[in-house]
Chains A and B, each alone.
Chain A
């Protein structure tokens, strides 16, 4: 069937757009699409990398030495963006170790090694007879369980694609059957032989995503596959869109533009414009997983290139070592040749062949020199612009090349370096054979490295600044504390000084104890006084010295003012310092002398409390009045205590009599002394009052006094009467208390009466004005 015939069959009237650029390399499809898919044999060992997909590596859940069945899960998905890994055949887990994997870097990764036992025994599978009965969630779960990743080459976990973001409104499902890369024919053969499975899988996906439009994008160089698809999609509304053969129309973004006319916006995914793309192999695997419960354990891989004798497509178990596989199909390695995993445009070269087939291995290409000659040495770029004409992303590859070479990465990014899909069209057309894609990969790597370094240095700077801040805060705190302590100390010092000065002047009662000690000391140790005197004289000498020095400094300053002006500041500062010193020594001397003076003065006084108290009291009028009240209180207290003791004595037991008698006597003395004090104070007060006051006219005072006194007398009298009454009616325990109270009040009454009469007499004596006598 020719292309034209195939196109005629297709009834799809969909208007196809085109993407910019593109190239037409030699297809070389006929090398491998002539024979049906063959099933590869069981290799002696299977090596299963834990990462065959985009996302997190799977977590191993089996142990070394464990027997596993075909399809048994060996490693679980680690997180959301991850897939499960299953045993491709039954056997024994040999090891979990580092092994070389298929990666451009040639690095190794953690792999499970499985030795098949030849039984090929399946584990129990969860098949569903009627897939239409399953809910979307059930299908998603089954797909995730089966460990399906995108088999077109990227390896994105398929179950995530079946759960698009909530905001996305998916309406178009596109099956990517373009297979634009030369040499690769796995999708072609799969469609020819298993179109039913592919279409069934497509329907499953469509039902999960609930899409309204289902498109199959296929290049026109696959007429047989188109026919097979037409038969398979007879009764469905799946549209088959035959697109012109052009590389890279199989690129997701390019295919979307061709089939829908829409472009995937920069930085977004196709789901954001309502489109989901799936690879043919992936969709077939989805069908097998949902319908039969079979996990992803094998894939169709194209073995092609003139170095391989039996070229074609093979259904190979995942984990099959490539060297074993190639030997099965007649690989004859030539000297200085390439072994490419993938196609000639985007595949990467392998450095060794002891690496396994993984979920994304779509082709193994072993070309010889004639079909894919090595590129000639690169010449200078002539800025012809053929690369820009070919670029499907509409970039300016020659500018990107210049910037990448000149390491002007900001300009490269400005020219949308990261929109490059690394399809290789620009390198293909370059007349100077410049490996352009290599420059872009290098530039992208450099930019990513710069971003990572920038992030690190930003973090380091933030931490550094925080640390600086913390140190500064600590310093500030220390300084504040020091200052506070200094202030507190200064305050305490000042307070202490103030207290000391007050002590010396006012409260010489404190010196009593000191005085006693001092007398003791003086009597015992004459040298102490001498020392005191010596200290004093020393201080005086110091003061005199300081004073004389200060005088000298002043003279010098005056001289300097006249003769040496530059010395003036220095000398004036020195003068100030000496002045301070003089003041200090003077103060010290004064303090010392005052102290000794007070001490010596107190040493003279006889050590009786009452006398010194009296003396101190007598020296100050200011203390008389308060002392009077205090004395009165003291007297009353003493009196009442005496009365109590006398009572106790009266009721005492014989053994207590002596003690109580002594106590009584003591208190009698105390009372007497208190009384004496009081009287003295009163006398002094009256004397001072009399002395202080000039002879004022007595009349107004008396006029006020007499009624007040009368009132006081009446009050006292009534109170006495009350108390006597209470006494008469008192209980025995209250008797003595009340008796005392009665006696006290009797005295008070008497006193008040006396005062009143005295006042009246005075009034009568001084004036002839009769005074209203309210009578007693």
Chain B
């Protein structure tokens, strides 16, 4: 008769990991489109280049680990890492910067910990932090100027030759980011003067505001699809907004709130990077705390640190704290008066 012996339950819901991963990638597209529109081909190229590197690295490592390749590639997690890195890295970053970042992320930050699900640190952010610290010049001088401010926009071949060759870019293609600019300028100027600079567009950040808005849209769709929980993005944004409102209210002293929110990697980070489920806290309350921590740390490093956009470091620091947050934010189980907190376990009776 050949009756199978299986354990209950015998039916499954529709959710699948690979489906969730693909949705995440898909929802970054609006943001990518905006980046291409405002900043050129650089980001698109980087996304493609990082994807290739990621998949190749993953295949290499899986072969070394003697795992079935198709099964593991099909969960799309490597692709998510690659896409996020491609979006976060500077558009004109040399090819070897992207290579190092992606390969390190996949091989070291993901597979050497055991593969998807076992890594404690966000792989994309590990790669980013590595290249940010190792190649500071490449990472700080390759940000693109908004295209609308240029007389001559870099063509695709020019972009490629910049990234792949050592061809020098015409002056003006690269420039400081709005966050960077504001932080340095406000030290000796007034807000009104700083904001008059063309890079700030209509008072927030030319180009960057659209990119962040697009990422916000993608993130909201993910929220509606219940692919990401709302606690993490809300926590990140709150963590960024609260100190900004309390401490940075004076635009003449510190970067204004809207620039914080709509410039740099804020929305990308809040909805796509911080929500990486594997490396964030698992309890609902824990996620809120996790997000708040990221937002807070980002603000601190942005304002008081030496990096213009320190999202990567904030995420990595909170990754450290995630297990502890889980332990202290257990929910109250049915039938109990209070939730159990802490690590104290009773001896098995």
List residues of A whose CB falls within 8 A of some B CB. Answer: 19-20, 23, 25-26, 106, 182, 253, 257, 263-268, 333, 335-340, 342, 344-353, 367, 372-375, 377, 379-386, 388, 392-396, 398-399, 409-411, 413-416, 419, 422, 424, 427-433, 435, 437-438, 441, 447, 450-451, 454
B interface with A by C-beta (< 8 Å): 1-13, 15-17, 19-20, 71, 75, 77, 115-118, 229, 277-278, 280, 282-284, 287, 326, 330-337, 340, 344-349
Do the beta carbons of B334 and A263 come within 8 Å of each other?
Answer: yes
Instruction: Give the residue name and chain of the B residue nearest to A21 (CB).
Output: B334
Min distance, Cβ A180 to any Cβ of chain B, angstroms: 13
Question: Pick the contact of B277 from A267, A385, A394 — CB < 8 Å?
Answer: A385
Q: Find B3's partner among A345, A351, A422, A427 (CB 8 Å cutoff).
A: A351
Across the A-B interface, give the 9 residue pairs with the lowest CB-CB distance, nearest first: A380-B117, A424-B9, A266-B335, A431-B15, A414-B345, A410-B345, A438-B7, A431-B17, A384-B277
The one of B287, B334, B345, B348 that contacts A393, using a Cβ cutoff of 8 Å = B334
Chain B residues with CB under 8 Å of A377's CB are 71
Q: Judging by beta carbons under 8 Å apart, are A437 and B333 in contact?
A: no
- The reply to whether A253 and B334 form a contact with Cβ atoms under 8 Å apart is yes
Are the C-beta atoms of A394 and B332 separated by less than 8 Å? yes
Q: Are B4 and A349 in contact (CB under 8 A)?
A: yes
Q: Which among A386, A416, A424 is the interface contact of B8 at CB below 8 angstroms? A: A424
A336-B4, A382-B277, A413-B348 known; A419-B9 Cβ under 8 A: no
A414: chain B residues within 8 A (beta carbon): 340, 344-346
Residues of A within 8 A of B75 (CB): 379-380
A19 to B5, CA, bound (A): 32
Complex CA gap A106/B10 in Å reads: 18
When the two chains form the complex, which single residue of B6, B13, B117, B345 contacts A383, counting CB atoms closer than 8 Å? B117
Cβ–Cβ contact A431 & B336, under 8 A: no
- With a cutoff of 8 Å between Cβ atoms, the chain B residues found around residue A350 in the complex are 3
CA gap between A52 and B52 in the complex, in Å: 61
Chain B neighbourhood of A373, CB < 8 A: 12
Known: A344-B9, A382-B116. A431 touches B16 (CB 8 A): yes
Please state if B335 and A382 are interface contacts (CB–CB under 8 Å): no
B4, B7, B8, B336: residue with the most chain A Cβ atoms closer than 10 Å: B8
On chain A, the residues within 8 Å of B4 by CB distance are: 336-338, 349, 374
A431 and B5 contact, CB distance less than 8 A: no
Q: Kindly list chain B residues whose C-beta atoms are within 8 Å of the C-beta of A353.
A: 1, 3
Q: What's the least CB distance linking B298 to chain A, in Å?
A: 22
- Asked if B118 and A380 make an inter-chain contact with CB atoms under 8 angstroms apart, the answer reads yes
Q: A349-B5, A388-B331, A438-B7 are in contact. Are A396 and B348 (CB under 8 A)?
A: no
Task: Verify B5–A382 contact, CB threshold 8 A.
Answer: no
Q: Kindly list chain A residues whose C-beta atoms are within 8 Å of the C-beta of B278.
A: 382-383
A344 and B282 contacting across the interface, CB-CB below 8 Å: no
Contact partner of B9 among A351, A428, A432, A450, CB < 8 A?
A: A428
Q: A340-B10, A353-B1, A422-B8 are in contact. Are A432 and B17 (CB under 8 A)?
A: yes
Q: Residues of B contacting A253 with CB < 8 Å?
A: 334-335
- How far, in whole Å, are A753 and B344 apart by their CA atoms in the complex? 113
Evaluate contact between A347 and B1: CB separation under 8 angstroms. Answer: no
Cβ contacts under 8 Å, B348 to chain A: 409-410, 413, 447, 450-451, 454
Q: What would be 24 A-B contacts, judged by CB atoms less than 8 Å apart?
A: A26-B11, A345-B10, A345-B11, A372-B10, A382-B116, A382-B117, A382-B278, A383-B277, A392-B334, A394-B334, A396-B283, A399-B282, A414-B340, A416-B336, A416-B340, A419-B335, A424-B8, A427-B12, A428-B13, A430-B13, A431-B17, A437-B9, A441-B7, A447-B348
Smallest Cβ distance from A666 to chain B, in angstroms?
A: 99
- A416 and B333: CB pair below 8 A? yes
Give bound CA distance, A424 to B75, whole Å: 24
B335 CB, min distance to chain A CBs, angstroms? 4
